[in-house]
Structure 1
Amino acid sequence: MKNHREGYAMNFELHRDFPESLDEEWTRLLNQAAVHVPFLHPGYLRGWWQTRGGGEWPEAQLALVTARREGELVGVAPLFWTPRAEGGAALMLLGSVEISDYLDVIARPQDLAEFIRGLLAALPGLDLPAWSALDLYNLLDDSPSLALLEAEAAAAGYSAQVERLQHSPFIRLPGDWETYLAGIDKKQRHEIRRKMRRLEESGVPFRWYTADDPDRLAAEVDDFMALMAQDAEKAAFLTPAMRQHLHHTARWALGAGCLHLSFLEIEGHKAAGYFSFDDLNRLWVYNSGMDPAFNAYSPGWVMLGYLLQWANEQGRDEFDFMRGDESYKYKFGAVDRFVMRVRLEC
């Protein structure tokens, strides 16, 4: 349905499904958006919706809101409706909460304020089940949407709360492996070199490679999940719906040209794997898995070393560990940023 409000040049429309006809416009808009991250691609979010976040949201209704100005797509709020555990219901960003590290609304910088203002005005008039909160998770702390949502909330009749959720460390890359190493703590630099050298001088056959054969992709993803499942917490995470989500995400990312699924093999066996996105001149590390049978070779550290060396040599600007404050990230020289939650109550 369409919602017209006086004083706003944007025309808002509610979609109850994912129209594939939007993909080209959506992607073009995302490429110019104030916030551009892999988890906002329509292909990724369509797959997320098919499994409801790997089973995270069993009761949900799609509430995809678009805005047009004179027929041109100028904004997307990828939302869904769901009941809240504390009572009532909320509108949330598709991708929330557990498996999509960074989320936001989508508009060009010059349109973002008008889009958020118009969205907050339009939402109560859309044909949706009753809801009492707009609950937005996983916005980066430097997202311009944060200040705009707070600023526009009162005028639109909402109360706003902003909360810091999680650390999300990253490394700015200098473009040279030795320069990168020289910029981290001396003790950690020696430790990285020592562990990489130990494997390289061990005499055992090893290699690291990136899986990019479409015919082998499903098997490679299964192998990756087998590595993940060596950890009890990750094994519990890998429900059938979550496995389906990871397969879809890998297929989408390969088709979009941004999949970086890499493995370290030792003596012909996969010892470590990293599922990453190579997008926007950054490497975004989505998940990882290790086989403890090869702990003597420190496969996780060694693989990270090779990935960082590759990213520097390929001229990537950043190495993004995404959410989580595990200590090893900081040992590799990561610095903090944070993901935030903005809750607007009616």
Structure 2
Amino acid sequence: MEFTHHTEFPYEMATEWNALLAESATHVPFLRCEYLADWWATRGGGEWPDDSLLAIITAREDGRLIGIAPLFIASHEDKKKLLLLGSIEISDYLDVICRAEEINRFLHGLLRFIREQFVATGQITGLDLYNIIEDSPTLKALEESAKTLDLEMRVRKLQHSPFIPLPGNWETYLERLEKKQRHEIRRKMRRALEGDAQVKLYFTQDEGNLEDDMEDFLELMAQDEAKEDFLSPMMREQMKSVMRCAFAQDCLQLAFLEIGGQKAAAYLSFDFLNRIWVYNSGIDRRYM
């Protein structure tokens, strides 16, 4: 297996990259080539300094792409580390990109390559991999390879990652809820329908409305004080870049609840692989 260190983003690999991702053990929207390219362009909306260094590592065998480790070098916790592109705050799930049946040998070779090319040369002191979901085969493969190569490995829980299995229709979903919660939802829906102001659910579908809808969404987000601090000018551009990218890939779900013609609340999600990946939200405080 031949490993290559890329110090410039390999845009020419986009088709090959995404094709491998589609066959990978972890297939999430945050690992698509165009998403990570946009993330890198702003260093995650300013989360990381401009002097961070790109360190994407690819592995091939007889010309066939086996794996991609989308990494970069930055100071983290006062030490130079290799981290996954997308780390830490704005990409929900990250991982290496590799087919499940090849993950063990890819990661074994990757750790050897990193030790020889990065650790031995003093460029980094360690590898910090954030936002890997707990059922990823990467964790077990890393543990086995680290043991074989006599490397120290520690795993810690970063945060919970909840999900909600959804049935095929709304009424079935309601029936699964507790009686009190179900009654409260129906009561609020009835009040909304019987009120004087028209209530409407609106999805961004027209490219001509995209820029205005993105601005409206960010303004709703910013009504939360914590999110207002988070939304620096650079982070706003990063968020817009994410939405434009998702729209171009036909997986953007930007939904607004309109009351009397005014956008009162919104959700930004990705409609990807028959799942809705909820990303962020905002609400006009006047409607709370």
**TM-score of the two chains, using structure 2 as the length reference:** 0.96
Say if 1:14 and 1:126, in contact at 8 Å, map to a contact too. no
Match of 2:76 in 1: 84
Q: Give the C-alpha shift of residue 140 in structure 1.
A: 0.6
Say if 1:65 and 1:79, in contact at 8 Å, map to a contact too. yes
Equivalent position amino acid for 2:63 in 1: G
Match of 2:192 in 1: 199
Return the structure number with greater relative CO, CA threshold 8 A, min gap 6. 1
Deviates more, 1:29-38 or 1:171-180: 171-180
Match of 1:49 in 2: 40
Q: RMSD of the alignment, in Å?
A: 1.2
- Give CA deviations for 1:164-218 in whole Å, capped at 9, x if unaligned: 1111111011112111111122211111221122111113112111112222212
Q: Give the C-alpha shift of residue 129 in structure 1.
A: 5.8
Match of 2:257 in 1: 264
State yes or no: 1:28 paired with 2:37.
Answer: no
Match of 2:115 in 1: 124
Deviates more, 1:180-189 or 1:250-259: 180-189
State yes or no: 1:97 paired with 2:88.
Answer: yes
> For 1:207, what is the secondary structure of its paired residue?
strand
Which whole-Å CA distance do the structure 2 matches of 1:218 and 1:122 have between them? 43
Which whole-Å CA distance do the structure 2 matches of 1:105 and 1:224 have between them? 31
Equivalent position amino acid for 2:176 in 1: G
Match of 1:255 in 2: 248
State yes or no: 1:245 paired with 2:245.
Answer: no
Q: How many residues align?
A: 285
> Which segments of 5 or more consecutive residues in structure 1 lack a partner in the other structure?
1-9, 296-346
Equivalent position amino acid for 2:106 in 1: F
Match of 1:142 in 2: 135
> For 1:101, what is the secondary structure of its paired residue?
coil
Q: Give the C-alpha shift of residue 141 in structure 1.
A: 1.0
Higher strand share: 1
Match of 1:37 in 2: 28
- Give CA deviations for 1:270-290 in whole Å, capped at 9, x if unaligned: 000111000010001100000
Say if 1:14 and 1:66, in contact at 8 Å, map to a contact too. yes
State yes or no: 1:291 paired with 2:257.
Answer: no
> For 1:134, what is the secondary structure of its paired residue?
strand
Match of 2:54 in 1: 62
> For 2:131, what is the secondary structure of its paired residue?
strand
Which whole-Å CA distance do the structure 1 matches of 2:109 and 2:178 have between them? 48
> For 1:139, what is the secondary structure of its paired residue?
coil
Equivalent position amino acid for 2:126 in 1: A
Which whole-Å CA distance do the structure 1 matches of 2:16 and 2:250 have between them? 18
> Which segments of 5 or more consecutive residues in structure 2 lack a partner in the other structure?
none
Q: Give the C-alpha shift of residue 154 in structure 1.
A: 2.1
Which whole-Å CA distance do the structure 2 matches of 1:129 and 1:65 have between them? 18
> For 1:174, what is the secondary structure of its paired residue?
coil
Quick one: which of 212, 215, 230 aligns to 1:219?
A: 212
Which whole-Å CA distance do the structure 2 matches of 1:155 and 1:221 have between them? 49
- Give CA deviations for 1:212-233 in whole Å, capped at 9, x if unaligned: 2222212111100000011110
> For 1:273, what is the secondary structure of its paired residue?
strand
Say if 1:90 and 1:132, in contact at 8 Å, map to a contact too. yes
> For 2:188, what is the secondary structure of its paired residue?
helix
> For 2:214, what is the secondary structure of its paired residue?
helix
Q: Give the C-alpha shift of residue 157 in structure 1.
A: 3.2
> For 2:30, what is the secondary structure of its paired residue?
helix
Match of 1:307 in 2: none
Which whole-Å CA distance do the structure 2 matches of 1:197 and 1:16 have between them? 57
Match of 1:173 in 2: 166
Which whole-Å CA distance do the structure 2 matches of 1:255 and 1:118 have between them? 35
- Runs of 4+ displaced beyond 4 Å: none
Which whole-Å CA distance do the structure 2 matches of 1:158 and 1:241 have between them? 38
Match of 1:158 in 2: 151
Between the aligned residues of both structures, percent identity stands at 50
Match of 1:274 in 2: 267
Which whole-Å CA distance do the structure 2 matches of 1:180 and 1:210 have between them? 22
> For 1:233, what is the secondary structure of its paired residue?
helix
State yes or no: 1:234 paired with 2:227.
Answer: yes
Equivalent position amino acid for 2:100 in 1: P
